[in-house]
Structure 1
Amino acid sequence: MVKRTRFKEYEDRYANYRFQLDEDGILLMQCHTNGGSLVWDWKSHDDMADAFADVAGDREIKVLIHTGTGENYNANWGTLPNGEPPEKPEYRLMPGDRGLRKLDEKAWYNRNLINNVLDVGVPMISAVNGPCNIHSEVPLMGDIVLASEDAYFQDVSHFPRGQVPGDGQHVIWPFLVGHNRARYLLLTGKKLGAQEALSWGAVAEVLPKDQLLDRAWKLARELVRKPPLVLRYTRDLFTQDLKRAFLNELGHGLGRETYAQREFFPFGGGMEPLDRPWDAQPWSD
């Protein structure tokens, strides 16, 4: 999905993504909803794939800083004012094959989201400014991952709510922290706090919230001193193994997840949401 772009073409294109380009070629990409923390809905999900395509196609930038806004990186459900998911997702209201085709479209966007992040051709610094419990693979695909002290990582949108965690979580977490830790995290809905994420090797630094973005800019200004082709080819080196991992398993995971959608809580499976403390014994009431 990547094509040649320039900053002026996408600077104001997306309602949920704010861009700032400095004179040294450092691009800041901030997720937000109406100036606050990002609310995940289908539009923000799909637009993120397109936004990363534009960033990946911009040959003028030299470093990318990717972050959120406000208290959370993206720990919000979308579409309803109270933050709860809708009573029924759109695809369950569609008769015949329309629902299946809508699910296929969402899987298509998800593949493009991951591929477009990995196609960003410059070093990517992820500054996780707070809780990240949906699509954590996006910031974790950065070359340098920073986290605020109050950040945590969690996959609430899949297994804890009755879905197969097949749209990227099943690839990124084993890649970063090993199979046993990844399976435990995804099956139990564990909140992985910033310091534990540091000890697991998922993030590089943990900082006070008010120092996070300054640290990202400082690192970016050090990186941008290197020649442009050195920056681009180094990013290519660092993403190669991740590209192979996602190529091998993303389509497989999306197929499993889509097939099991009809049993997805609360629209058919009758499963309960994750309403216990994250550190409670697994499977306890």
Structure 2
Amino acid sequence: MTAPGYAGDYSVLAMARSEAGVLEMRLHSDGGPFRFSAVARAQLIDAFGRVGADRANRVVILTGTGDDWCAEFDRSPAMSPDPALTLAERWGVQFREGRRLLAALLDVDVPMIAAVNGPALIHSEYLLTCDIILAAEGAAFQDKPHLDNGVSPTDGVHVLWPDVLGSVRGRYFLLTQQRIEAADALALGVCNEVLAAEALLPRAHAIAERLARQPDQTLRGARVGLTQRLKRLVTADLPIGLALESVSALAKA
């Protein structure tokens, strides 16, 4: 395994690439479980843009570190928004970057495999942009932070979760902060396989290496074709959702 030349540019990502072009992207915070932050969001936008533009990447595996995929925020000053920004300006940045990050994920034009190593409680919708979702036995899916903070769950979760679960289940999931454990996620079609933690990444790499034997245009054509519908949904429904999220946050400030 080697690392792309840009791998060292991101404090929240570790990257390694096989000779066949399988790129593993591992989220982390200081080498431990990934904690979401304003800085992380900006880094991920840039990283997925570069990963998508790099033709040496032929399959992407997105995973986390330790026992959590993402279950906490990093609110340290170094990872937080510029304190000079007003509250309205900070939400303006979130509106702009929220659109760009989902677009960057969906614009990666090679197959993506999610290896969900633990609870995905924050921005679990990012995983739903992947084509194959594998979950460790200790994984879980939830949208926890929005209602915990009195903010509407409409930053992309309102597009992708009802699409996966169905309209009625998806709205229930978001409005009750339902936590879906791995076994139930498999039954509901949220993930494709549930594996022991130690088997998760080997299985992801086995699928990825097999896919990587396909012709390049076949891989890219499959990803582009399979994500067109999601792109249409996100393009149509994400902007108003982000605006409503911003309004709800400003109204309670």
TM-score by length of 1: 0.84
The structural deviation recorded for 1:49 is: 1.4
Query: 1:160, 1:188 within 8 Å by CA — same for their partners in 2?
Result: no
Counterpart for residue 29 of structure 1:
25
- Aligned counterpart, 1:115: 103
Equivalent position to 1:62, from 58, 63, 66: 58
Residue equivalent to 1:278:
none
Match of 1:282 in 2: none
Gaps of 5+ in 2: none
Deviations 1:167-208 (A, max 9, x none): 110001011110111111111111111111111111111111
Structure holding more helix per residue? 2
CA gap 1:22/1:41 in 2 versus in 1, 3 angstroms? same
What's 1:252 paired with? 240
Code of the residue aligned with 2:202 in structure 1: it is: D
1:76 aligns with one of 33, 54, 72: 72
Name the CA distance, whole Å, in 2 between partners of 1:124 and 1:201: 17
Residue 152 of structure 1 corresponds to 140
Distance in 2 separating the partners of 1:200 and 1:160: 25
The partner residue of 1:134 within 108, 119, 122 is 122
For the 8 Å contact 1:29–1:67, the answer to whether it is kept is yes
Q: What is the distance in 1 between the residues matched to 2:54 and 2:163?
A: 28
1-structure distance, mates of 2:244, 2:91? 12
Instruction: Say if 1:64 and 1:90 are closer, same or farther in 2 by CA, change over 3 A.
Output: closer
| Aligned partner of residue 94 in structure 2, secondary structure | helix
Q: Is the 8 A contact 1:159 1:189 kept in 2?
A: yes
Structure 1 match to 2:4? 7
Is the 1:162–1:263 contact (alpha carbons within 8 Å) kept by the matching residues of 2?
no
Between 98-107 and 216-225, the greater mean CA deviation after superposition: 98-107
Query: How large is the Cα RMSD of the aligned pairs?
Result: 1.9
Equivalent position of 2:131 in the other structure: 143
| Per-residue deviation, 1:74 | 0.8
TM-score, structure 2 as length reference: 0.94
* Aligned 8 A contact 1:160 1:187 in 2: no
Q: Partner letter of residue 35 of structure 2?
A: V
Partner of 1:173: 161
In our comparison, the structure showing a higher alpha carbon Rg is: 1
Output the CA distance in 2 between the equivalents of 1:160 and 1:177. Answer: 22
- The answer to whether the 8 A contact 1:149-1:194 is kept is yes
Deviation of 1:99 after TM superposition, in Å, equals 2.5
Matches within 5 A, 1:45-56: 45-56=41-52
- What CA distance in whole angstroms lies between the structure 2 residues aligned with 1:70 and 1:80? 20
Alpha-carbon separation, structure 1, partners of 2:222 and 2:240: 29
Instruction: Find runs of 4+ consecutive structure 1 residues off by over 6 angstroms.
Output: none
1:252-271 pair list within 5 angstroms = 252-264=240-252, 268=253
Q: How many angstroms apart in 2 are the aligned matches of 1:241 and 1:121?
A: 14
Tell me by how many angstroms 1:80 deviates: 4.8
For residue 182 of structure 1, the aligned residue among 170, 173, 189 is 170
Over 3 Å counting, the alpha-carbon distance change for 1:90 and 1:32 in structure 2 is closer
Question: What corresponds to 1:239 in structure 2?
Answer: 227
Q: In structure 1, list runs of 5 or more residues that go unmatched.
A: 1-5, 82-88, 269-285
Aligned pair count reads 250
Q: Does 1:18 align with 2:5?
A: no
Deviation, structure 1 residue 127:
0.3
**2:171 and 2:150 mapped to 1: Cα distance?**
15
The 1:214/1:90 distance shift into structure 2, 3 A limit, reads closer
Contact conserved, 1:18 with 1:31, CA < 8 A, in 2?
A: yes
> Are the equivalent residues in 2 in contact too, given 1:49–1:110 (CA < 8 A)?
no
